[in-house]
Structure 1
């Protein structure tokens, strides 16, 4: 079995775990507070239920916008120092969020948290890309994501436990504590992965050239947009999960369990992808998953239209849809990075910006359409599936299931 290339001084397994922990800072930032949204809304005077989704959405806006900055900085100064400074910033933003006295102040803190955590996405990809590419990179990222997807499974339950011992503000203190642990791990164990000779001075000319290369390469741009659409499906589910399970199906006492089932499906998909991608390729797996998402969504829309949707039918279709989405993420990311690996930091930041902001737009459009039923989510997933299939068709020159580039 192929090992995962790791920086000097780190065991391959430790490296994968470290990458997963870095990615988990962002995942905890989104999922840990889901059980507390109603409490936050009540405490800070938010009367409209759909407005509570902004606690997630504003964070993701910061997460997307911040990625434009960290790529060039990481290419110029190295990965390690940028990660250290932004993790420290995330700790400070978490403390600020915990002390918020108004909903506006909380949203400001969430925006700052997102801006700081944006580095985790850019640097996780860039650090892995510094030592691998193609199918090998996809495999390493899939194993890291498999561990990373344990966070959505565990985070709501951990958030619920924190609420048993104190107010919702405890959740933000816990976020700061976790980021501090990852910061300590970085300080003690992570060496610099970008050699000095590969560092690129920051200049408008260089940035324009790198951005142009990233945006004009059809694989880089096309698969970044495809990733944004599938990620938008995840944002929509996360934003709506508390309302659907608690308000829609009156299953608040089992919310964390049902959320974990759907998140576990994504973790299983990443595990499966890590085992198969080097043998089957990124294209075969991801394109099959997109077709699966379309087929599932058509059936789900039909179930809703006929009036036979239940809690269990929703969980069934949602879990399988998340499986399909889970088989797309790492593969789309690896294919987008393949032609621009020599400018990994800048390319990762721009692709991350496209992916995150696009996901916010898609997820918000679906989430704000919620009116008490699962219809917007099912129709949204169907639209995402067809849109991604169309993008793949254009990117691949009208051919599917090609073996080229992964």
Structure 2
């Protein structure tokens, strides 16, 4: 199907919506945790955390295949596959009569969402280069950063008007809207003559190459550990703020204010990385997070797991700001030696870090009993582990120079 040449703003708007679909799906569900747990009459409230943790598992596994698949069959066909999977997962979640079926639906959604996560960046690379690519990505990332701020508020608004299952109807319509936009508006950006055959052997060889690189593997482990604690924060934010601190309907607004920490970090990182370099920013972020965690875990113990809300908000803002600095720089540093297959490397790095983060988030979440101690301890352990690995990476780098 032929398309007229797309304008810059139309192109950016569709890709921003595609990337935002991932964040919207995750964050709009958070205010519904209590309602879901009540519907399924769960004996252990912590079980509902599997909804987000296993969606991330599907997301991590899914993106491993979408990059090379899109290089083989084209960007649009790959997006169709991902969005159809996502819509199917939403339908399964909507119809679920028990927690197991809901989780199955979330895993399918995650598998589908791997496509928007990977392909959006590939499409930008196909169409733009240099400063034009940087300009396009900056506009897309602004929308992507703002999405976690307003999506829990939208989720709460839906819940005030209807039951939690309605959220999945909203997601189905969003998925269909993006699918139709890609079908009838977005042109294919990878012509047949530039496509490459998909081979499992190439995927296995690329994965082995990344794992055998000590610096890249170290970055992946740090990224996985911090991401695991971040997923734990997503899982626990609703019970902590809405229930333990009795914020009620104000919870999404507190969540939104903390999400600004990641957005601010992403913005400042783009300004600072050229002057300081990735390695220094990673070191500063790890040490800052660890420095905040040591006194705060003592304070949390003093208050028997319920420190004053104002101090907790400051602590979480610092940690989320540090996480915002780390995610982009760790991914870029892990990918640095693999510029000859950057797209595939990004997918592999995302998948491997997810295989670390999901079990960690499930493990931390099981210890939640109303106290913020498991979350605070998670940030402390992430800092200690990361400092050890980062120091080892630095020694390896010096040895090769």
TM above 0.5, yes or no, is: yes
* Structure 1 position 376, deviation (Å): 1.2
1:171-223 C-alpha deviation (Å, 9 max, x unpaired): 11111122223223333454444454553322343233222223223343332
Q: Does 1:394 align with 2:392?
A: yes
Among 17, 23, 30, the alignment partner of 2:19 is 23
User: How far apart are the structure 2 equivalents of 1:132 and 1:363?
Assistant: 37
Counterpart in 2 of 1:5? none
1:46 counterpart SS class: coil
Residue 103 (structure 1) aligned to one of 95, 99, 102: 99
C-alpha distance in 1, partners of 2:219/2:232? 20
Is structure 2 residue 205 aligned with structure 1 residue 209?
Answer: yes
Q: Does 1:373 align with 2:375?
A: no
1:55 corresponds to 2:51: yes
Alpha-carbon distance, 1:399 to partner: 6.5
Counterparts of 1:153-164 in structure 2, within 5 Å, are: 153-164=149-160
User: 136-145 or 113-122: which moved more?
Assistant: 136-145
For the pair 1:37 / 2:33, whether they are aligned, the reply is yes
The worse-fitting range, judged by mean Cα deviation, of 128-137 and 206-215 is 128-137
- Residue 256 in structure 1 maps to residue 252 in structure 2: yes
- Picking from 91, 100, 110, the partner of 2:87 is 91
8 A contact 2:216–2:333 mirrored in 1: yes
- Name the structure 1 match of 2:182: 186
CA distance in 2, matches of 1:158, 1:250: 20
Aligned pair count? Answer: 394
Asked if 1:149 is matched to 2:145, the reply is: yes
- How do 1:116-131 residues align onto structure 2 when only pairs under 5 Å count? 116-128=112-124
- CA distance in 2: counterparts of 1:387 and 1:188, whole angstroms: 48
The answer to whether structure 1 residue 265 and structure 2 residue 255 are counterparts is no
Aligned to 1:290: 286
Q: CA RMSD in A?
A: 2.8
Q: From 213, 220, 230, give the equivalent of 2:216.
A: 220
1:235-250 map, 5 Å: 235-250=231-246
Shift of residue 300, structure 1, vs aligned partner: 1.4
Matched residue SS, 1:47: coil
Shifted more, 220-229 versus 152-161: the winner is 220-229
Alignment gaps of 5+ in structure 1? 1-7
C-alpha distance after superposition, 1:53-79 (max 9, x if no partner): 111122122112222322331232233
Output the CA distance in 2 between the equivalents of 1:131 and 1:347.
20
| Distance in 1 (alpha carbons) for counterparts of 2:140 and 2:380 | 28
Alpha-carbon displacement from aligned partner over 1:292-319 (angstroms, at most 9, x marks no partner)? 1111111211221332821111111001
Q: CA deviation at 1:12?
A: 5.8
| Structure 2 residue ranges without an equivalent (≥5) | none
Tell me what 2:345 maps to: 347
Q: Structure 1 residues 32, 341: CA separation in 2 closer, same or farther (over 3 Å shift)?
A: same
Q: Distance in 2 between matches of 1:204 and 1:196?
A: 20
Residue 321 in structure 1 maps to residue 309 in structure 2: no
Partner Cα separation in structure 2 for residue 213 and residue 11 of structure 1: 39
